Amino acid sequence: MKELRRNMRLVGTLVVVLFVGLAAWFAMTVFTQGSIWASDVRNSRLRASNSLRGDITDRDGNLLATTAEDGTRQYLSNAAARRALSQTVGDIAGMSGTGIETFYSATLLDISSSLTDRLSELFKSARHVGSSVQITVDGRLQAYIASAFPQGYRGAVCVMNYKTGEILAMVSLPEYDPDDLAARAYDQVEDTAYLNRCLQGLYTPGSIFKIVTLASAVSNDAGVVDQTFTCSGEWNYDGGHIVCAGGAAHGALDLKAAFKRSCNVTFGKLAYQLGLDRLRATAERFGFNENFKFGDFVVYNSAFPKEVDSMNGLVWAGIGQGEVLVTPLHMAMIAGSVANGGTMMKPWLIKRVANSQGVTVTRGAAEPYRQVLSPSAASLIAGYMYETVKSGTATRAAIDGYSVCGKTGSAEVSDDKTVETNAWFTGFVYDEEHPYAIAVVIEGGGAGARMPSELAAKALGKAIEYVG
Secondary structure (DSSP) of 64-95: EEEE-TTS-EEE-SSHHHHHHTHHHH--TT--
**How much is the pLDDT for 316?**
95
User: Phi, psi (5° rounding) for residue 76?
Assistant: -55, 140
Lowest-pLDDT range, 67-81, 102-116, 354-368, 406-420? 102-116
127 in a structural domain: no
What is the value of pTM for the model shown? 0.87
**How much is the pLDDT for 126?**
59
**How much is the pLDDT for 27?**
43
Q: Residues in the chain, how many?
A: 468
List the domain range (segments joined by +) for residue 411.
206-349+365-466
More confident residue, 143 or 120: 143
Query: Which of 204, 149, 151, 445 lies closest to 324, judged by CA?
Result: 204
Q: Are 381 and 215 in contact (CB under 8 A)?
A: yes
**How much is the pLDDT for 34?**
44
**How much is the pLDDT for 239?**
81
User: Stretch 321-337: mean pLDDT, rounded?
Assistant: 97
**What is the rounded CA–CA span in Å between residue 441 and residue 433?**
26
C-alpha distances (whole Å) from 262 to each of 11, 190, 202 are 63, 35, 22
Q: What is the mean pLDDT of the chain?
A: 88
| pLDDT beyond 60 at 271 | yes
| DSSP calls for 157-180 | EEEEETTT-BEEEEEEES---TT-
13 in a structural domain: no
C-alpha distances (whole Å) from 330 to each of 93, 101, 220, 276, 336 are 28, 23, 23, 21, 10
Of the ranges 25-34, 100-109, 292-301, 338-347, the best mean pLDDT one? 338-347
Q: Are 54 and 131 in contact (CB under 8 A)?
A: yes
Lowest-pLDDT range, 30-34, 153-157, 197-201, 245-249? 30-34
| pLDDT beyond 60 at 26 | no
314 in a structural domain: yes
66 in a structural domain: no
Q: Are 392 and 261 in contact (CB under 8 A)?
A: yes
**What is the rounded CA–CA span in Å between residue 54 and residue 47?**
16
**What is the rounded CA–CA span in Å between residue 39 and residue 103?**
5
C-alpha distances (whole Å) from 231 to each of 252, 273, 306 are 6, 15, 28
- Which CATH number characterizes residue 240's domain? 3.40.710.10
**How much is the pLDDT for 189?**
72
Lowest-pLDDT range, 31-40, 93-102, 119-128? 31-40
98 in a structural domain: no
| DSSP calls for 330-373 | HHHHHHHHHHTTTEEEPPB-EEEEE-TTS-EEEE----EEEE-S
- Structure letter (DSSP) for residue 443: T
Question: What total of structural domains would you count in the chain?
Answer: 1
Q: What pLDDT, in 10s, does the model give residues 209-237? A: 999 999 999 999 989 999 999 999 899 98
C-alpha distances (whole Å) from 418 to each of 150, 181, 251, 317, 324 are 21, 37, 29, 21, 20
Handedness of CA 402, 351, 34, 64 (dihedral sign): negative
| pLDDT beyond 90 at 141 | yes
Other beta carbons less than 10 A from residue 222's beta carbon: 11
Partner residues linked to 345 by β-bridges: 368
